[in-house]
Amino acid sequence: MARHKSRPYDRGPRLLEYELPGGWKVLVGRTDADNDRLSLKVAGPNDWWFHVRSMPGSHVILQCPPGEEPDKETLKRAAAIAAYHSKAREGGVVPVSCTRAKYVTKPRGAEVGTVQIRKEVVLKVRPAAGEPVKEAAENPA
């Protein structure tokens, strides 16, 4: 009997979950497949997406409740978590790209974990871990 290779999307993503002041929820991918699923399936169009610039790292989503907008401090805290979950963890001030999740797309034929973004804003932050709430299973967006 032939064995089938499991595809990256056969299992739900294993995500880290953080809660920021004000009740904002941050989700962090742990693998390339988790990053794809988080960025392209779990994130809502008005959620914020973060990734350290020019280095490997996790995709991070700041989930936005309908009709609410995060302030600059909340965006910077989410960016600091993205910097922490990257190869730049030990760096000083690190540039982190952020954009609305609706501007994150996957180029045709791109490798798992690779995305393309538009309307990028760059935040310069120091890497910082948030307080993890739990390891989350897949959360519906």
Residue 51 contacts residue 87 (beta carbons within 8 Å): no
Q: Which residues pair with 10 in a beta bridge?
A: none
Its pTM surpasses 0.85: no
Q: What is the pLDDT of residues 36-80, one digit of tens each?
A: 999 999 999 999 999 999 899 999 999 998 889 999 999 999 999
For a pLDDT cut of 70, what percent of the chain falls above it? Answer: 83
- Kindly indicate the confidence band of residue 118, based on its pLDDT and cuts at 50, 70 and 90: very high
Judged on CB neighbours under 10 Å (0-12, 13-18, 19+), 63 is buried
Residue 63: which residues within 8 A CB-CB, separation 6 or more? 24, 25, 26, 27, 43, 44, 47, 141
- With a cut of 60, say whether residue 7 has pLDDT above it: no
Residue 108: which residues within 8 A CB-CB, separation 6 or more? none
